[in-house]
Amino acid sequence: MSLKYVAASRLPTRWGDFTLHGFEDLQSGKEHVALTMGEFDPQSPVLMRIHSECLTGDALFSLRCDCGPQLQAAMQRIAEEGAGVLLYLRQEGRGIGLLNKIRAYALQDQGHDTVEANIALGFEADQRDYSFVGEMLEKVGVKKARLMTNNPRKVAAMEACGVEVVERVPHCAGQNSHNSHYLSTKAGKLGHLL
C-alpha cells in the first residue's frame, strides 16, 4: 500500500453534504481526498469523477481551462443522483506543479499550445499518475464505476487498478472563447472525447 488513510469528516457544500476522506501518498508526500455521498453496493456501479487539482481553474475561476466548471458539474451530478465519489488528486498542471504550470501558461501566451508548452519545459504532455486510485476506491467501497470523463486514459487507468468501468459518462462543462484552443488541443493531441 502506498497510501495512508488519515481521517474523514462531514463536508457541507452548496450541493449537499459529502464525506471528505483524507489520504497521504507515502512515496510522494502528496495529500489527496475523496468526496463521497450516499451508500454504495459493491456489486453496483457508482457514479464517479477523477479530478486533478487545478488551483487556477478550481479556486481562481480561470477561463483558460474547463477544470472549475467540470469539478462543480461533477459535484452537482453526484448530488442529483444522491450517491457518488469524486477523487481530488494533487496533480496540478497535468502533474508538472503550479509554478511550472504558470511557466507553461507564459509559453501559451507566446503561441504554444498546452502540450507544446509542457514539452518545451522538459515534461511529458501529461505526467499524471493514477496508479494509487484503486487504493482510494477500495477504502471507500467502490469496485465498479460509471466514470464521468472525456479522457480515455482515465478509463484505462481505472481498469489497470482493478476497478471495472461499466460506463464512460461524457463530462463537458465550461467551454468558452478563452479555452477553445486548449480544448481542441486536448481532443486532437491527447485523445479526449469532446
Residues annotated as catalytic (active site), given as ranges: 126, 128
Is 65 annotated as belonging to a binding site? yes
Is 53 annotated as belonging to a binding site? yes
| Paired residues of 86 in beta bridges | 35, 49
Is 181 annotated as belonging to a binding site? no
Is 96 annotated as belonging to a binding site? no
- How does DSSP classify residue 1? -
How many angstroms separate the CA atoms of 107 and 87, rounded?
30
For 168, the enclosing helix (H) or strand (E) is strand 164-169
Is 119 annotated as belonging to a binding site? no
Is 172 annotated as belonging to a binding site? no
Pairing of strands 31-37, 46-52: unpaired
Task: Write down the residue that cell numbers 479522457 correspond to.
Answer: 151
Is 92 annotated as belonging to a binding site? yes
How many angstroms separate the CA atoms of 102 and 121, rounded?
11
Specify binding-site residues: 49-54, 65, 67, 70, 92-94, 114, 149, 154
Specify binding-site residues for Zn(2+): 54, 65, 67
Specify binding-site residues for GTP: 49-53, 70, 92-94, 114, 149, 154
